[in-house]
Amino acid sequence: MKVQVNRLVEGNVLLNDVVSASNKPLILKNTTITDYTIEVLNAFLIKEVDILEGVNSIGIEKLTNENSSVNLTEEKSVDQVEFVNLYMETVKNYKNLYISWQSGASIDISRVRKIILPLVDRVLLEKRDEVFKLYHYANIEDYLFHHSVSVSLLSTVLAKNLGYKQGDIRQIALTGLLCDSGMAKIDVNYLSKSVTLTEKEYKDVRQHPIQSYQLLKNIMSIKEGVKIGVLQHHERIDGSGYPLGIKGEQLHPFSKIVALADTYQAMVSIRPYRSKQSPFKVLEQIMQDDFGKFDIRIVNELKRLLLTFSSGTKILLSDGSKAEIVFVDEQHPTRPLVKIIDSNNIIALKDNSDLFIEELI
């Protein structure tokens, strides 16, 4: 019988293989459900599964870190699944911290470091390309917490590629994670609204950079750049941002990195009022609609990072076709050469302005 993932309990047994978005086996039938299994299902956005009716035994085949039934294909290796689980655990731990801030607790920066730095180190060591896939795992309910962790990781990768030293990279990671910490002092109902905020609500939300700065200003163990970066992460090079409307050289380097990472992650992620968008589509929008708002060096670094998507990456096009990337042109990183899977036709997206990459699969 079919059961929603959020209603599974330990000991349920899978009746059929669970397949991924590209129809490859992810978890094999006869696997016994554990907490780890459920984490994997949630990580890959599986909504429901078939289980054996009336069976609730933990003796068939458990999915654990040591004995994994995740299919070892080129699509998702055990190593990748472990990375996703580390990411999901980081999001959960950050959420718990955030809830404590809502209740009036001060920010314990040592706990913040323990939560985010292991994931930051993992990304810097071997998982930079995974940063572009994190939007798959976010949901509307926990959007803010996924967003904060993702902004931290993207800021980390951008800082590394821009030549920052290890110490500053970690400080920039903290800036990205904590830039929205002040939202804990904003009405919780604002974030979940699926309609346009009122003028007062919008004004209140725009105070969150100041609220974030207030939470951090007396912490002596982080650099001043973190505090300023948090305060300025919604400012823009052309002066069109908030809360102070400053521009250009008035902006701290940390804030310039986090500003782009924050905008990018907000645009790719699912929101109450729209579906998620692909990295390629979002970068194209930033380059066209927000030209002059962000440091061009950082935008160019984001473009170069997109080139890490090698030939063979599976994608979904805006017309519903499944395809794979054949070649990414450095001059047109958002519009690569792609092959339609069903027909094997080769299409140059740079010559088809009405067609774009909808999603990575």
pLDDT in tens, 165-192: 999 999 999 999 999 999 999 988 777 7
Verify that 225 and 349 share a domain, yes or no: no
Q: Is the peptide bond before 243 cis (omega within 30 degrees of 0)?
A: yes
Task: Flag whether 289 is in a domain.
Answer: no
Task: Flag whether 40 is in a domain.
Answer: yes
Domain count along the chain: 3
pLDDT of res. 267: 93
Task: Flag whether 29 is in a domain.
Answer: yes
Verify that 203 and 139 share a domain, yes or no: yes
Verify that 68 and 117 share a domain, yes or no: no
Average pLDDT over residues 78-99: 87
- Among residues 45, 75, 105, the one where a domain terminates is 75
- Which has the minimum average pLDDT: 1-5, 120-124, 204-208? 1-5
Verify that 58 and 90 share a domain, yes or no: no
Task: Flag whether 322 is in a domain.
Answer: yes
Task: Flag whether 282 is in a domain.
Answer: no
pLDDT of res. 210: 97
Average pLDDT over residues 112-121: 96
Q: What is the CATH number of the domain that holds 180?
A: 1.10.3210.10
pLDDT score of 296 more than 70: yes
pLDDT of res. 80: 67
Boundaries of domain holding 41: 1-75
Average pLDDT over residues 292-302: 95
Q: Which residue has the higher pLDDT, 46 or 235?
A: 235
pLDDT of res. 66: 37
Q: Please, what is the Cα angle at 47 between 315 and 342, to 5 degrees? A: 30
Task: Flag whether 293 is in a domain.
Answer: no
- Which has the minimum average pLDDT: 19-23, 48-52, 320-324? 19-23
- Among residues 46, 75, 104, the one where a domain terminates is 75
Verify that 163 and 267 share a domain, yes or no: yes
Average pLDDT over residues 67-77: 41
pLDDT of res. 59: 34
Using CA atoms, how far residue 244 sits from 209, 233, 337, 348, in Å, is: 10, 11, 43, 43
Contacts made by residues 141-146, CB under 8 angstroms, sequence distance 24+: 142/91, 142/95, 143/191, 143/269, 143/270, 143/271, 144/98, 144/180, 144/183, 144/191, 145/91, 145/92, 145/94, 145/95, 145/98, 146/91, 146/269
Verify that 144 and 252 share a domain, yes or no: yes
pLDDT score of 68 more than 70: no
35 falls in which pLDDT band (50, 70, 90)? confident
- Which has the minimum average pLDDT: 30-44, 195-209, 236-250, 279-293? 30-44
Per-residue pLDDT tens digits for 252-262? 999 999 999 99
Distance of CA 305 to the CA centre of its chain: 15
- Radius of gyration of the chain from its Cα atoms, rounded to whole angstroms: 21
Q: Which residue has the higher pLDDT, 22 or 113?
A: 113
pLDDT of res. 53: 66
Question: Where are the alpha helices (H) located in 179-295, listed in sequence order?
Answer: 199-205, 208-216, 224-232, 253-268, 279-289
Verify that 160 and 28 share a domain, yes or no: no
pLDDT score of 133 more than 80: yes
Verify that 270 and 238 share a domain, yes or no: yes
Per-residue pLDDT tens digits for 181-234? 999 999 887 777 767 888 898 899 999 999 999 999 999 999 999 999 999 999
Helix (H, G, I), strand (E, B) or coil at 30: coil
pLDDT of res. 322: 93
- Among residues 75, 103, 130, the one where a domain terminates is 75
Q: Which residues pair with 324 in a beta bridge?
A: 314, 339
Verify that 70 and 83 share a domain, yes or no: no
pLDDT of res. 130: 83
Average pLDDT over residues 58-86: 50
Helix (H, G, I), strand (E, B) or coil at 87: helix
pLDDT score of 72 more than 60: no
Verify that 104 and 45 share a domain, yes or no: no
Average pLDDT over residues 292-300: 95
322-329 β-sheet, strand order:
346-348, 332-340, 322-329, 314-317, 357-360
Distance between CA 38 and CA 3 in Å, rounded?
Answer: 12
pLDDT of res. 310: 65
Task: Flag whether 309 is in a domain.
Answer: no
Task: Flag whether 100 is in a domain.
Answer: yes
Verify that 125 and 169 share a domain, yes or no: yes
